[in-house]
Amino acid sequence: MSPYTGGGGGGRGAQRFGMVREFPLGFVVGGSSIRGVNGLYSLIDNDPGNPHAAIHTYWNPSTKYRLVYAHAKDEGYHPVGGKETEWVLVDESLRDRFGHQGDTYLPGSGDRWQHVHRPSHAPPIGFSVGDRVKMRAQLDGHWEKGDMGKIVSTRPTQLEAPFTVELEKNQRQFYCQAWRFTTVGDENESGGQDENSGVADGTPENDEDELPWQL
């Protein structure tokens, strides 16, 4: 049994209940003052530019926002709700805007979401050959967290691991997904934020009107 808050009257506080046994094929999101959040999100099979270790990704083609069900433990950051998984709304610049506790087939709406304001792990146009990157989390037998490297080739047809990264410390090369590394400039652009933190340093502007009130 899963609670949700939908449109169609009753105001922001109106809850309804339904039995859910699997992930949906899509979502309609509304009620946010951020225009890009609103719209139709459809389940997509492959998303090589995804900045998260995605279990499921829903794409809004009108605004280029993503609604991602992510495996945060693989990425090495602390998700909203403290579970191993998290629902994340990612904007068109590949920056996380809102997070929701995972371990559920359906995210809730409204104040069940939290502003996160994390720095983007990738440039808005995506990664390219020659980009210098930093590995986000340790992978035993391959690299340590924080190891530096460079993208030496891309394999657009290999959707599971489309990038080849060469480590600076030993020149070993590995096929990687986009979520395994981050752009080197993040430390200077995030105002000292720990990239593994769920929220930015200081107090974000937690405007309730920005939240996805209808989902």
Q: Residue-wise pLDDT tens for the chain (215 aa)?
A: 344 444 444 445 445 555 668 899 999 999 999 999 999 999 998 787 788 889 999 999 999 999 999 988 777 778 999 999 999 999 988 889 999 999 999 999 988 999 997 877 777 667 889 999 999 888 899 999 999 999 999 887 666 788 999 999 999 999 988 888 888 864 433 333 444 444 433 334 557 888 888 88
Beta-carbon contacts of residue 87 (< 8 Å; ≥ 6 apart)? 67, 68, 69, 70, 99, 100, 101, 102, 104, 107
**Other Cβ atoms within 10 Å of 33 Cβ, number:** 12
**pLDDT value for 148:** 96
**pLDDT value for 167:** 96
> What are the residue ranges of helices labelled H in 20-67?
none
**pLDDT value for 147:** 95
Rounded-to-integer distance, Cα 85 and Cα 80, Å: 9
With b for 16 or more beta-carbon neighbours within 10 A and e for fewer, the 173-198 pattern comes to ebebbbbbbbbeebeeebeebebeeb
**pLDDT value for 115:** 93
Rounded-to-integer distance, Cα 65 and Cα 44, Å: 13
Global pTM reads 0.71
**pLDDT value for 41:** 96
Rounded-to-integer distance, Cα 122 and Cα 131, Å: 10
